[in-house]
């Protein structure tokens, strides 16, 4: 993955109290402590996909009890598709299981059950030109 913005994202990937998912971008490796939770200085996961990721969300999209990772891809340097990386029993896949049909200049993502049908809905910001 290529990144055009600094983004550090963390959240629980599985239900263990000590394993946290972190993404570090553009060699911006920082060692910090947050609420006595040590953060690592290298990414715990990377993707093989070569996209400009400008937004991300952690959500159980597959509704299997494991938190999946969704990315909003594309910026003014490249048009990309959005992607979902499925968490398979505690490990995120390195190649996206799902990509949007259209590519574009996407960014921030919101995921939730907007229409109350019991299934997750995804809203993605688009930098339309």
Domain ranges in the chain are: 2-126
What's the pLDDT score for residue 2?
42
Q: Alpha-carbon dihedral of residues 14, 17, 18, 19, nearest 10 degrees? A: 10
Token pair 């921030």 is found at: 108
pLDDT of residue 37: 65
With 0-12 / 13-18 / 19 or more C-beta atoms within 10 angstroms meaning exposed / middle / buried, residue 24 is buried
Beta bridge partners of 38: 33
User: Does this model's pTM top 0.95?
Assistant: no
Structure tokens at 61: 């999209």
* Residue 96 and residue 114 in contact, taking contact as beta carbons nearer than 8 Å: no
Q: How much is the pLDDT for 43?
A: 79
pLDDT given at position 20: 39
Unique residue bearing structure tokens 């996206």: 96
pLDDT, mean of each 10-residue run, the chain (129 residues): 41 39 38 58 82 88 94 86 93 93 88 91 82
CA distances from 2 to 35, 52, 97, 100, 113 (A): 30, 5, 18, 18, 30
């Amino acid at each position: 993955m290529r990144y055009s913005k600094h983004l550090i994202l963390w959240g629980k990937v599985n239900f263990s109290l000590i394993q946290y998912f972190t993404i570090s971008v553009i060699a911006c490796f920082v060692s910090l402590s947050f609420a006595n939770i040590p953060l690592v200085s290298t990414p715990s996961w990377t993707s093989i996909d070569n996209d400009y990721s400008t937004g991300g969300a952690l959500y159980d999209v597959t509704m299997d009890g494991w938190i999946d990772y969704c990315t909003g891809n594309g910026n003014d340097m490249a048009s990309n598709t959005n992607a979902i990386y499925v968490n398979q029993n505690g490990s995120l896949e390195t190649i996206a299981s799902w990509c949007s049909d259209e590519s574009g200049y996407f960014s921030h993502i919101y995921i939730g059950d907007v229409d109350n049908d019991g299934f997750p809905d995804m809203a993605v910001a688009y930098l339309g030109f």
